[in-house]
Structure 1
Amino acid sequence: MEQEQLEQTTALIAQDFGLVNASSPFTEGELLEAIANRVAEMLTENKDLLLSYMYRLDIDEGKIRFALSPLANEPAYLALARLILNRQKQRAITKLSYKPPKLDEWEF
């Protein structure tokens, strides 16, 4: 993932999931680990809030159900973290693609 996209993705995730060290640069693996830790915490403390966040992020409900099922290939917290990361990467790409040009004449 390119650096600008990674920074945008980190900012989006930090905003939604309250990652504390989001100001320091993350690699994609470190970001996935941070999300997974937060998701694991939310699964035990407030699963409804986690599912609400995922709904708000527009993550496919079928994918969420599969990630939470015993048939999933990896632990639920990690599968959900991957879904979140992938969705936020898509959002970051969209934001960067449609970034408006800077208007110099509007500066005060």
Structure 2
Amino acid sequence: MEISQAKEAFLLISKNFDLEISEENLTEKMAIELLGKAIAELLNQNLEKLLQICYRVDLDENKLKQILHRSDPDFVAADLAQALWDRQKLKIEIRRRYSESK
């Protein structure tokens, strides 16, 4: 049985934020909302840890700077959550394509 891309992306990124899946039918929207809440907390309490996570996830540095400096302050966490989510999905897609071509 193949795990859904949303659940796989959440499993990958949740390790960095110490998040747990409590919802069996996790949707992409739900995952991004959970991620946004965790990011908002780190923005307020531990920016260095958040930046380390962004580096580990391999979020483009220019994208990170753009979000931190140009996003509306009320939407920084949500924009960053979306960017990290998109990066994880891309990594999964590349990994799946590579494994299928073997």
Q: Per the alignment, do residues 14 and 23 of structure 1 end up closer, same or farther by CA in structure 2, a change over 3 Å counting?
A: farther
Once the two structures are superposed, the pairs formed by residues 63-102 of structure 1 within 5 Å of their partners are 63-69=63-69, 71-72=70-71, 75-99=75-99
Structure 2 SS opposite 1:75: helix
> Scaled by the length of structure 2, what TM-score is found?
0.82
Distance in 2 (CA, whole Å) between partners of 1:89 and 1:46 is 25
Q: Per the alignment, do residues 22 and 91 of structure 1 end up closer, same or farther by CA in structure 2, a change over 3 Å counting?
A: farther
Shift of residue 22, structure 1, vs aligned partner: 5.4
Once the two structures are superposed, the pairs formed by residues 41-56 of structure 1 within 5 Å of their partners are 41-56=41-56
Distance in 2 (CA, whole Å) between partners of 1:15 and 1:98 is 23
CA-to-aligned-CA distance 1:37-76 (integer Å, 9 cap, x gap): 000011111100000110111111111111111x325611
For the pair shown, the structure with the greater C-alpha radius of gyration is 1
For these two proteins, the number of residue pairs brought into alignment is: 97
Q: Per the alignment, do residues 22 and 48 of structure 1 end up closer, same or farther by CA in structure 2, a change over 3 Å counting?
A: farther
Structure 2 SS opposite 1:20: coil
The two structures, once aligned, show a CA RMSD in angstroms of: 2.0
Whether 1:5 aligns to 2:12 is no
Distance in 1 (CA, whole Å) between partners of 2:94 and 2:60 is 18
Kindly indicate which of the two structures has a greater share of residues assigned to helix: 2
User: Is the CA contact 1:14–1:22 (under 8 Å) kept in the aligned structure 2?
Assistant: no
Letter paired with 1:57: V
In the alignment, which residue of structure 2 is the partner of 1:105? Answer: none
Q: Structure 2 unaligned segments of length 5 or more: list them.
A: none
State the identity as a percent.
28
